């Protein structure tokens, strides 16, 4: 009666909080996912969750199956890792770099979990802020690069991790805080606070200001997100950040988060990997762990398309 896919879909629905988002994460259409739930409910003779509720409210039957999923799915993943070890491919090297300051928030828990599961793999993490990591990946110096700026290189494959929205943080009392969304010209008289990286690696420049031929009055940098938020909150500038990095500050009312443009500014984060590493069991597991961790810990991210 019950299948593993049923537990996975229920788990995805709880994590995503909507049928649409759960379908995206499972790479199914919403119609196919709804049909799968309807079929299971007909088999069981009882509903699993209440439709059109947010957050999703699960029935007693749904909660019981989620309890089973929480117990069984981690065991299944562990067994799959063991099978991969038995088949070979347990040892290897995973040297990675990131091009995103705020990625540390979810990447470190991913690495900790991965290290426990694959102790034989040599793991190393470097910041990609002081060198060009993608050419290093192509040369074989690195095995994986986390980036939001894919560049076509021979032998490099980009695996989408998740999609996020870039937002602008402003002080609560700032005049821009009352606007429905931010237009490029709104920043012409502002001090823009950024991480200390090149402008061509910052979406707020390449995809928002430069296409409109707008330059902020001043640019200043800060190494840490918390430092940037302190500067914004005290009225010394505005700052563009991914929604997940800004959420803990805007949710507490420390700063105000505003959309960039009427339709918002969205980007996708990728894992860049050499083609020869894609099929390594530990690499596949790292990508699954990274996606699971990001969806479980980051506010406002969605399943990447493409």
Judge residue 125's burial from the number of C-beta atoms within 10 Å of its C-beta, 0-12 exposed, 13-18 middle, 19 or more buried: middle
Question: CATH classification of 163-266, choosing from 3.40.50.720, 3.30.2130.10, 3.10.450.50, 3.40.190.10?
Answer: 3.40.190.10
* pLDDT per residue rounded down to tens, the chain (306 residues): 788 989 999 998 888 878 888 888 888 888 898 898 998 999 899 999 988 877 889 999 999 999 999 999 888 887 877 676 656 656 678 999 987 767 777 788 888 888 888 888 888 887 655 667 888 999 988 999 998 888 889 999 999 998 899 999 999 999 999 999 999 999 999 999 998 888 888 889 999 999 999 999 999 999 888 999 999 999 999 999 999 889 889 999 999 999 999 999 998 999 999 998 888 888 988 998 888 888 888 887 887 754
Helix %, strand %, coil % of the chain (to 5): 45, 20, 30
Q: What is the pLDDT of residue 237?
A: 96
Question: Helices (DSSP H) in 87-162: which residue ranges?
Answer: 104-117, 133-139
Q: What is the pLDDT of residue 250?
A: 93
The CATH 1.10.10.10 portion of the chain extends over 4-85
Please state, in angstroms and rounded to a whole number, the distance separating the CA atoms of residues 129 and 91.
28
Evaluate if pTM is beyond 0.75: no
Please state, in angstroms and rounded to a whole number, the distance separating the CA atoms of residues 71 and 37.
20
Please state, in angstroms and rounded to a whole number, the distance separating the CA atoms of residues 203 and 34.
36
Q: What is the DSSP letter of 2?
A: -
> Which fold is adopted by the domain 91-162+268-303?
D-Maltodextrin-Binding Protein; domain 2 (3.40.190)
State how far the alpha carbon of 66 is from the alpha carbons of 10, 13, 34, 108, in Å. 7, 10, 17, 27
Q: Check: CATH 3.40.50.720 for 4-85?
A: no
The CATH 3.40.190.10 portion of the chain extends over 91-162+268-303, 163-266
């Amino acid at each position: 009666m019950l299948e593993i896919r049923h537990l996975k879909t229920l788990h995805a629905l709880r994590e995503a909080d909507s049928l649409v988002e759960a379908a995206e994460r499972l790479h199914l259409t919403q119609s196919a996912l709804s049909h799968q739930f309807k079929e299971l409910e007909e088999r069981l003779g009882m509903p699993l969750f209440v439709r059109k509720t947010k957050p999703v409210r699960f029935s007693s039957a749904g909660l019981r199956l989620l309890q089973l999923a929480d117990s069984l799915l981690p065991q299944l993943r562990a067994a799959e890792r063991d099978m991969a070890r038995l088949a070979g491919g347990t040892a290897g090297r995973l040297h990675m770099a990131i091009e995103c300051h705020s990625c540390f928030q979810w990447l470190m828990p991913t690495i900790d979990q991965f290290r426990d599961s694959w102790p034989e793999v040599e793991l190393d993490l470097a910041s990609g802020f002081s060198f060009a990591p993608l050419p290093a990946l192509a040369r074989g110096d690195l095995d994986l690069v986390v980036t939001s700026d894919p560049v076509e290189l021979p032998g490099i494959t980009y695996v989408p991790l998740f999609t996020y929205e870039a937002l602008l943080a402003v002080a609560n009392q700032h005049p821009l805080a009352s606007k429905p969304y931010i237009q490029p010209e709104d920043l012409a008289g502002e001090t823009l606070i950024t991480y200390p990286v090149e402008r061509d690696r910052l979406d707020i420049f390449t995809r928002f200001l430069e296409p409109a031929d707008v330059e902020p009055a001043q640019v200043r940098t800060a190494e840490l997100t918390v430092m940037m938020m302190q500067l914004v909150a005290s009225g010394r500038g505005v700052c563009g950040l991914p929604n997940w990095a800004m959420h803990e500050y805007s949710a507490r009312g420390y700063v105000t988060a505003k959309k960039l443009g009427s339709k918002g500014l969205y980007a996708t984060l990728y894992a860049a990997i050499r083609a020869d590493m894609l099929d390594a069991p530990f690499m596949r597991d790292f990508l699954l762990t990274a996606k699971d961790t990001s969806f479980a810990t980051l506010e406002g991210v969605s399943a990447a398309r493409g």
